[in-house]
Amino acid sequence: MKKVAVILSGSGVYDGAEINEAVLTLLHLSKAGASYQCFAPNVEQHHVINHLTGEVSNESRNTLVEAARIARGEIKPLAELNAADFDALILPGGFGAAKNLCDFAVNGASAKLNNDVKVACSAFKDANKPAGYMCIAPVMVPMIYGKGVRVTVGNDAETAAAIEKLGGEHVDCAVDDIVVDENHRVVTTPAYMLAKSLDAAEKGISKLVERVLAMV
Amino acid sequence: MKKVAVILSGSGVYDGAEINEAVLTLLHLSKAGASYQCFAPNVEQHHVINHLTGEVSNESRNTLVEAARIARGEIKPLAELNAADFDALILPGGFGAAKNLCDFAVNGASAKLNNDVKVACSAFKDANKPAGYMCIAPVMVPMIYGKGVRVTVGNDAETAAAIEKLGGEHVDCAVDDIVVDENHRVVTTPAYMLAKSLDAAEKGISKLVERVLAMV
- Residue A88, strand partner residues: A4
Average model confidence (pLDDT) across chain A: 98
On whether the CB atoms of residues B171 and B151 are closer than 8 A, the answer is yes
A interface with B, Cβ–Cβ below 8 Å? 11-14, 16, 19-20, 23-24, 26-27, 30-31, 50-52, 54, 59, 64-66, 68-73, 75, 197-199, 202
Query: Is the CB of B51 less than 8 angstroms away from the CB of A31?
Result: no
> Other C-beta atoms within 10 Å of B214: how many?
12
B187: alpha, beta or left, given left = phi > 0 and alpha = psi -120 to 50?
beta
Query: Residues near B107 by Cβ (< 8 Å), separated by ≥ 6?
Result: none
Helix (H, G, I), strand (E, B) or coil at B92: coil
How far apart, in whole angstroms, are the C-alpha atoms of residue B91 and residue B124? 12
Average confidence (pLDDT) over B106-112:
97
Rounded average pLDDT over A138-144: 98
Question: Looking at residue A64, what is its pLDDT?
Answer: 98
Residue A206: in which H helix or E strand, if any?
A: helix A198-214
Given the DSSP bridges, would you call strands B179-181 and B186-189 parallel, antiparallel or unpaired? antiparallel
Residue A29 confidence (pLDDT): 98
> Measured between beta carbons, which residues in chain B are less than 8 angstroms from residue A69?
11-13, 16, 19, 51
- Are B73 and A199 in contact (CB < 8 Å)? no
Which pLDDT score is estimated for B146? 96
- Helix A198-214 × helix A19-31 angle, to 10°: 50
Written as one letter, the residue type at B125 is K
**pLDDT band at B212; cut points 50, 70, 90:** very high
Distance from CA of A167 to the nearest CA of B (A): 32
Residue of A50, A64, A197 with shortest CB distance to B52: A64
> Which of B30, B64, B71 is nearest residue A199 as measured by Cβ atoms?
B30
Give the rounded percent of residues in chain A with a pLDDT score beyond 90: 100
Say if CB A117 and CB A140 are below 8 A apart: yes
Instruction: Tell me the domains of chain A and their CATH numbers.
Output: 3-214 (3.40.50.880)
**DSSP β-bridge partners for residue B150:** B169
CA angle B25, A88, A135 (to 5 degrees): 50
* DSSP letter string, A118-167: HHHHHHHHHTT--EEEETTGGGGHHHHH-TT-EE--SS-HHHHHHHHHTT
pLDDT at A49: 98
Query: Average pLDDT in the B131-144 region?
Result: 98
DSSP alpha helix (H) spans, chain B: 19-31, 63-70, 95-99, 104-107, 115-126, 141-145, 157-165, 198-214
| Calculated CA dihedral for residues B130, B136, B141, B147, nearest 10 degrees | 130
B39 burial via Cβ count (<10 Å: 0-12, 13-18, 19+):
buried
Arithmetic mean of pLDDT, B6-22: 98
Say how far apart CA A159 and CA A139 lie, in whole Å.
Answer: 8
Residue % of chain A over a pLDDT of 70: 100
Long-range contacts of B196-201 (CB under 8 A, 24+ apart): B197/A30, B198/A23, B198/A26, B198/A27, B198/A30, B198/A31, B198/B20, B198/B24, B199/A27, B199/A30, B199/A31, B200/B175, B200/B176, B201/B20, B201/B21, B201/B24, B201/B175
Per-residue pLDDT tens digits for A75-131: 999 999 999 999 999 999 999 999 999 999 999 999 999 999 999 999 999 999 999
Contact A100, A57 (CB under 8 A): no
According to the model, what pLDDT value does residue B186 have?
Answer: 98
Q: Quickly state the pLDDT bin for B4 (edges 50, 70, 90).
A: very high
Note the pLDDT of residue B156: 97
Does B73 contact A65 at a Cβ distance shorter than 8 Å? no
The pLDDT of residue B157 is 97
**Which ipTM was obtained for this model?**
0.98
Residue B91 backbone dihedrals phi, psi, to 5 degrees? -120, 110
B193 pLDDT tier (thresholds 50, 70, 90): very high
Indicate which of A13, A51, A53 best probes the interface with B, i.e. most B CBs within 10 Å of its own CB.
Answer: A51
Q: Is A102 a catalytic site residue?
A: no
